[in-house]
Amino acid sequence: MLDFDLTEEHRILEQTVREWGARAVAPKIHDLDREHRFDRNYLTQMAEMGLLGCSVPQEYGGAGMDYISLGLVSEELEYLDTSLRVIMSVHAGLNCLTLLTWGTEDQKKRYLVPQAQGKKIATYGLTEPAAGSDVRGIQTTAIKRGDRYFMTGEKMWISLADVADNFLVFAWTDVEKKKQKDPSGIGAFIIERAFKGFSSGTLKEKWGILAGNTGFFKMDEVEVPESNLVGGPGEGFKIAMFALDQGRYTVAAGATGLIRACRDASVKYAKERKTFGVEIAQHQLVKEMIAQMESDYQASRLLWMRAGFLKNSGRRNTRETGLAKWFSTVASERAAGDCVQVHGANGYSDEYPAGRFYRNCKGAVIYEGTREIHKVMQADYVLGYRQDKPTRCELPAHKA
């Protein structure tokens, strides 16, 4: 039975992240955003708190918390700034949980353990300059010669591209299947920054998530040991989709935190600002916007927690996680727009957080499955056109 009450462990975690954020992040985030500057110190501090491996079992270097905990951390971090939640998405969700589920014992020991401990930072490399939603359109190849793969290609819009040590990268391993766009020809690989032929760069022209590191990386005949192949040679597409389930979960919880941030900022401003002799909070249409934020916050939180409950019990949750991601990110865009509206002209001022919320929210409506992709997915579930088939590996249930 689904219990809506947080455990004492959940409440302590939530409060710990909240207090850390108020002390270490809130006073600095405005300047970091304005300066387009990523602060690596936050990675160290998050590692010290056990956040980077919060839902990885202790035997693999993690804190052994459940998947609801991962959602709570994501929500609290995005309440502060989207750039911090993105760290959890790519490092903890897309990468670590994928290695936990699909990795060999050797891969877990060599890569997952130091990542869960925060000694190594990890990210995810699927998107390319000409391939986003169309995963079959990727051009990166990994050609096997002997016991090595030689990888060539470019990945784009990669969070922590200039920061991460390890990369979960997807490439075609079968040239003929690439021509046919048969996804069974895609493989998943662990790439280290130190591998010869690897290079990365930062994207400078983005207009949101400015306190985060976003970039690209290139591979020119990067030599990859066969032992770094995750899953089987033809399982890359399945692994990519599995990873997105975990990333979307953190995105959904994070967008929920952004809605709450918009609500709180709007309430504060509406009770301070006066027009026509009264607080603007007294105006009916301002109340309407704040009420919508509260409704969206509560609904979004229930949706991601439902997905987290299914994860904890070891049940497939692709449909539920996708719905949570779609609903909460669209709702966060609405909340951010209304937050700017509540602030009026000051919503355009950099002195208030409303503009940062508005710039940050849009990315999540696009990445890890666009709004349109998720609409089609949810319709197909209802129409009976889409069913989630069992895969060889499933996210392990949480062991209390």
Catalytic site positions: 368
CA-based torsion, 29, 248, 308, 163: positive or negative: negative
Instruction: Please report which residue ranges of the chain form alpha helices under DSSP H.
Output: 8-20, 29-34, 41-48, 67-80, 82-87, 97-102, 105-107, 113-116, 175-180, 236-272, 284-312, 318-343, 354-366, 371-383
As a whole number of angstroms, the distance between CA 129 and CA 260 comes to 33
Q: Which residues contact 180 (CB under 8 A, 6 or more apart)?
A: none
Structure tokens at 268: 């504060």
As a whole number of angstroms, the distance between CA 188 and CA 172 comes to 9
As a whole number of angstroms, the distance between CA 46 and CA 385 comes to 42
The rounded radius of gyration (Å) of the Cα atoms in the chain is 21
Helix (H, G, I), strand (E, B) or coil at 191: strand
As a whole number of angstroms, the distance between CA 124 and CA 157 comes to 10
> Are 249 and 308 in contact, with CB atoms under 8 Å apart?
yes
Maximum alpha-carbon separation in the chain: 79
Structure tokens at 101: 């589920």
> Are 75 and 139 in contact, with CB atoms under 8 Å apart?
no
As a whole number of angstroms, the distance between CA 140 and CA 152 comes to 6
- Strands 148-159 and 214-225 turn out to be antiparallel
One-letter amino acid of 311 = K
Q: What angle do CA 329, 16, 299 make, to 5 degrees?
A: 30
Which DSSP string corresponds to 30-83?
HHHHHTT---THHHHHHHHTT-TTTTS-GGGTS----HHHHHHHHHHHHHH-HH
